[in-house]
């Protein structure tokens, strides 16, 4: 009979952050920037969505809806640039890090649709109805992408709660800088 060798259990990688990544996340000012921009972007989205729907229902407010979509797109660009900086600070890579790979992939679709809207608006390639339909498509992808990030935020909180239940896990040793504890 062959003897089985039992190896020590392998330590699993946290769902989102290693202890060092979490420390960099918590120490970075870019985390606060993302925390402010995300709800701001959602608020701009809700106002813009209401204006677009108003235009579809009444035929009024085309300029307000158009301006709101442009503002939403600018806020999207800002959050994408600052989010990329945040990923570089926390994970050492500008985009497509392991923890947010699929969210970043889908963000590219969101960016592409918003950019297509701006290009069509600028060139006059689409009429008002077509522009608003394109904006709604961009907004639908944004909602999916926002949902992805909310699920990741929930996963991060659950992961942190799991780490906090393990003695000494995820916490820096007394007197050591956060990076030295990992």
Confidence of residue 13 (pLDDT cuts 50, 70, 90): low
34-49 mean pLDDT: 96
Is 172 within the bounds of a domain? no
* Per-residue pLDDT at 12 exceeds 60: no
Q: 70 or 98: whose pLDDT is higher?
A: 70
Task: Tell whether the model's pLDDT for residue 7 goes beyond 60.
Answer: no
Query: Residue 66 — very low, low, confident or very high, per pLDDT cuts 50/70/90?
Result: very high
| Residue 122 resides in a domain | yes
Mean pLDDT rounded to a whole number for the chain: 85
The number of distinct structural domains making up the chain is: 1
What is the mean predicted confidence (pLDDT) over 112-118? 98
Within-domain flag for 176:
no
Does 152 reside within a domain? yes
Report whether pLDDT(115) > 70: yes
The rounded distance, in Å, linking the Cα atoms of 130 and 109 is 18
Residue 148 within a domain = yes
**115: domain range?**
19-165
The end-to-end CA distance of the chain, in Å, is 42
CA contacts within 13 A on the Cβ side of 67: 4
């Amino acid at each position: 009979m062959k003897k089985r060798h039992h190896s020590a259990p392998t330590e699993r990688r946290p769902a989102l952050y290693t202890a060092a990544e979490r420390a960099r996340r918590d120490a970075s000012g870019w985390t606060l920037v993302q925390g402010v921009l995300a709800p701001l972007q959602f608020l701009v989205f809700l106002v813009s969505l209401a204006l677009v729907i108003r235009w579809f229902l009444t035929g009024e407010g085309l300029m307000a809806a158009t301006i709101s979509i442009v503002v939403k797109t600018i806020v999207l660009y800002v959050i994408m640039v600052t989010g990329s900086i945040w990923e570089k600070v926390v994970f050492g890579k500008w985009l497509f890090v392991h923890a947010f790979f699929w969210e970043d992939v889908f963000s590219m679709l969101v960016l592409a649709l918003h950019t297509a809207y701006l290009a069509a608006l600028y060139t006059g390639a689409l009429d008002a109805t077509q522009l608003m339909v394109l904006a709604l498509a961009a907004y639908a992808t944004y909602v999916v992408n926002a949902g992805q990030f909310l699920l990741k935020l929930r996963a991060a909180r659950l992961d942190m709660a799991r780490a906090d239940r393990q003695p000494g896990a995820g916490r820096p040793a007394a007197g050591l800088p956060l990076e030295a504890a990992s």
